[in-house]
Amino acid sequence: MPALALALLSAAVWAQPLTAQPLEAIWYTRNGAATTAVFVAHADRISVVSPQVFAFDAAGGIHGALDPQVVATARAQHVKVIPLVMNPGFDQALMHTLLTVAEPRARAIRSMAALCREQHLDGVQFDVENVHVSDRDAFTSFVRESVDSVHRAGCSVSAAVVPRTSDDAGPTAYHRWIYDNWRGVYDYKALADTLDFLSYMTYAQHTGGSPAGPVGGYPWIKASLEYLLSLGVPPQKISLGIPGYSDHWYPAWDWRAGAHMTGSDISYAEGQRLLTQFGVAARWDDVQKSPYAMWENAGVFEHLWLEDVRAFEAKLALVRQYKLRGYSVWLLGLEDPRVWALRHAILK
């Protein structure tokens, strides 16, 4: 999409009022009593539940199991069941084999279709990450062949994809590493042309391996989204990733890495507990549109970036302003409970 056209699109969508038009609300889960309880409590406000429970093996088989209570609740509440299928541990070598070796590649494609039929699913979503950029074409063709097979089995096919703001690898060794191994493999336009939709994972802007910063800062999310649109990916094929989790950075030591800063994904409730423990209040960053805090612990500073209801609403506004199909939230049970009062965000 030319720059002028994108600018006109941006101006038009920002001029649109926020309405109660339905959005597709995808919430990711993992098997476990705590996550299941949250899903049961809020299933009436979720349109798709997407459990991260299935994984490829090196031979192309798929292993895993759905929580029967999640499935039963989903069916009773008319929630679509679209589980993730991932490369376990985001194993790069395993995925390279599946993409480039004929026999396991063919078996993986057959396994996807069999999973749909046997589990009576509404769809499947690829959660294939940490794939080297050199496998871009192989991944695109693998997805294309999988879509043909899985559609014939009666299921939708989508992919959760890591975002980027351009096709420039970046200025530092860190930027080049994350581009080559996490961001660069996705040919977004080719994937969108084939798949039913993309869940665009606009979170993990900062991680445990990076300096402290927002989980998904507003300017970065907006830039990532506008880049995707500039490639010609239709808005109705984009589900915007919204983080439900928060991040805490703190000093650590181990015998391999020595002393270093590290970060952990935590729940909103745990973030509130940390603020109480250290007697600090979070401040709102109106540029990043997230609250943050820092405090001294025995002479060393720790950092916290929260994802609260106000941050959720700011990201949700982008979904409406750009007329996207909906949003995808990682991870159910970590969110600020106040998001469930956002009735304008709910499909049903």
pLDDT of amino acid 12? 40
Would 258 be classed as within a structural domain?
Answer: no
Would 303 be classed as within a structural domain?
Answer: no
Number of neighbours of residue 307 by Cβ within 10 angstroms = 28
State how far the Cα of 227 lies from the Cα of 165, in Å rounded to an integer: 6
DSSP state of 154: T
pLDDT of amino acid 4? 46
State how far the Cα of 324 lies from the Cα of 240, in Å rounded to an integer: 7
Would 261 be classed as within a structural domain?
Answer: no
Task: Provide the residue-wise pLDDT of the chain in tens; the chain has 348 residues.
Answer: 444 444 444 444 333 434 456 899 999 999 998 999 999 999 999 999 999 999 999 999 999 999 999 999 999 999 999 999 999 999 999 999 999 999 999 999 999 999 999 999 999 999 999 999 999 999 999 999 999 999 999 999 999 999 999 999 999 999 999 999 999 999 999 999 999 999 999 999 999 989 999 999 999 999 999 999 999 999 999 999 999 999 999 999 999 989 999 999 999 999 999 999 999 999 999 999 999 999 999 999 999 999 999 999 999 999 999 999 999 999 999 999 999 998 555 544
Number of neighbours of residue 301 by Cβ within 10 angstroms = 13
Are β-strands 84-86 and 48-56 bridged in parallel, bridged antiparallel, or unpaired? parallel
Would 299 be classed as within a structural domain?
Answer: no
State how far the Cα of 108 lies from the Cα of 86, in Å rounded to an integer: 11
303-to-74, 158, 208 alpha-carbon distances in Å: 38, 35, 12
pLDDT of amino acid 343? 59
Provide the CA 65 distance to its chain's centre, in angstroms: 21
Would 122 be classed as within a structural domain?
Answer: yes
State how far the Cα of 45 lies from the Cα of 340, in Å rounded to an integer: 8
pTM confidence score: 0.93
Would 255 be classed as within a structural domain?
Answer: no
Would 262 be classed as within a structural domain?
Answer: no
Q: What are the structure tokens assigned to 320, written together?
A: 């409406």
Q: What are the structure tokens assigned to 62, written together?
A: 């798929």
146-to-86, 190, 203, 243, 254 alpha-carbon distances in Å: 14, 14, 26, 28, 42
Angle at 169 between CA 221 and CA 125, to 5 degrees: 55
Which 3 state secondary structure label does DSSP give 250? strand
Domain that holds residue 234: 3-244+308-345
Count of the separate structural domains present in the chain: 1
Residue 332 contacts by C-beta under 8 Å, 6 or more apart in sequence? 27, 28, 29, 35, 38, 39, 49, 244
Would 337 be classed as within a structural domain?
Answer: yes
Are β-strands 62-63 and 290-297 bridged in parallel, bridged antiparallel, or unpaired? unpaired
Provide the CA 232 distance to its chain's centre, in angstroms: 21
- 129 HSE (CA, 13 A, CB side): 17
Q: Return the CATH number at 232.
A: 3.20.20.80
Is the Cα torsion angle 222, 225, 227, 229 positive or negative in sign? negative
